[in-house]
Amino acid sequence: MAKVYDALRRAEEERKRRLSVGEAPLVPAAAPAEGGPPARIPFFEAGPVPSAGGRTSLWRRLWPGGRRSEPGESAFEGNKRRITLLQPESFVAEQFRSLRGRLDAMSAKQPLRTIAMTSPNAGDGKTTAAINLATVTALSLGRRVLLVDCDLRKPKIHLALGLRPEAGLAEVLTGAKSLDDAILKVEGMNLEVLPVRGRPPNPSELLSSQNMVELVEEVSKRYDRVILDTPAALGMPDAKAVAELADGIVLVVRADATSRRDIEASVDLIDRRRLLGLLLNGAHMSQGRYGYIS
């Protein structure tokens, strides 16, 4: 893990060097109208999808094998969720650095200690986005970062990061364990994780409880940035309950998969005033292609 961390540091230094010789900084999102929703919703590209005509996607070129490393998850799926660790100089890793830069620019105008990552449907890539955003954010010197797995139904963060939790979010919310007992540190990085250990029969009630409110308040005081990985927004109330506690929300959508109708339904469901933008996951590679959705 120390070698991986050194590689990440070198990539970060190289990125800063390129910025110092003339690369244009990211432009903050348009300011919202007084008392209303944002005038436009920013979006970014996060990574490529399998191309048309049978061409192999970047994910598959990086990890062509289908060997299984975790129960219920292939090595390919696990590696994809931590591409910024395994391929720190890749195009996809650069997009997550760009996302971090945009969020930092926004935080100069509004507090953004807690950020909820959600998506309209399962499979859109919100967990991948949450892990990689947390990873690149933890590279900032002197910044403490916490990644919280709020998916009490199908948690994946501990699998992707190779963690073996003895306690997790459910145990903290029910009072069975303390917060300090449940938080795990990722070896070699300034990143900590509150994973999921037990899967309770009442996830929606726990996530909307006063204990969850107090938990988010507590971690927002301890850490400089808290990333909350929620379940999908449509079909269950879990994501809305968590999103209402966050300073900002990033909605992850998948190119050529997430319908406009589902995006609009998700925006209506969550608090639009907290919506920071849409993260376009699985986009075909085209560097420098940033824009806005009206």
Flag whether 70 is in a domain: no
Segment among 70-74, 142-146, 289-293 with least mean pLDDT = 289-293
Q: 64-78, 101-115, 182-196 — which is least confidently predicted?
A: 64-78
> Is 57 a domain residue?
no
pLDDT band at 5 (very low <50, low <70, confident <90, very high): very low
pLDDT mean over 64-68:
37
E-strand spans in the chain? 41-45, 68-70, 73-74, 114-118, 145-149, 184-185, 191-194, 225-229, 248-254, 275-281, 291-293
**Domain residues for 234?**
90-293
For residue 201, the one-letter residue type is P
Strand-pairing partners, residue 114, are 226
Going by C-beta distance under 8 Å and a sequence separation of 6 or more, which residues neighbour residue 176?
167
Report the residue count for the chain. 294
Is the per-residue pLDDT at 73 higher than 80?
no
Instruction: Please report, for the domain that includes residue 193, its CATH number.
Output: 3.40.50.300
pLDDT score recorded for residue 285: 54
Q: Are 292 and 40 in contact (CB under 8 A)?
A: yes
Task: Give domain status of residue 175, yes or no.
Answer: yes
Residue 26 lies in a domain: no
Q: What pLDDT digit, counting tens, does each position of 198-221 carry?
A: 899 999 999 999 999 999 999 999
Radius of gyration of the chain (CA): 18
| 53 domain-assigned | no
110 lies in some domain = yes
pLDDT at 131: 93
Beta bridge partners of 43: 278, 291
Can you give the pLDDT at residue 174?
A: 95
Model confidence at 141: pLDDT above 60: yes
Residue 281 lies in a domain: yes
Give the model's confidence band at 39: pLDDT under 50 very low, under 70 low, under 90 confident, else very high: very low
- Lowest-confidence pick of 131-140, 205-214, 281-290: 281-290
| Confidence at residue 30, expressed as pLDDT on a 0 to 100 scale | 39
In whole angstroms, what is the distance from residue 251 CA to residue 249 CA? 6
pLDDT (mean) for 59-71 = 39
pLDDT band at residue 47 using 50, 70 and 90 as cut-offs: low
pLDDT band with cut points at 50, 70 and 90 for residue 290:
very low
Contact 279, 44 (CB under 8 A): yes
Q: Write down the mean pLDDT value for the chain.
A: 76
**In the block, residue with structure tokens 């986009």:** 283
Q: Is the pLDDT of residue 181 over 90?
A: yes
Number of Cβ within 10 Å of residue 164's Cβ equals 9
pLDDT band for position 192 (cuts 50, 70, 90): very high
Residue 154 lies in a domain: yes
Structural domains in the chain (count): 1
pLDDT in tens, 74-120: 444 444 555 556 556 666 778 888 888 899 999 888 889 999 999 99
The larger pLDDT score, comparing residue 54 to residue 7, is at 7
pLDDT value of residue 179: 96
Structure tokens at 21: 């010789």
Percent of the chain with pLDDT over 90: 43
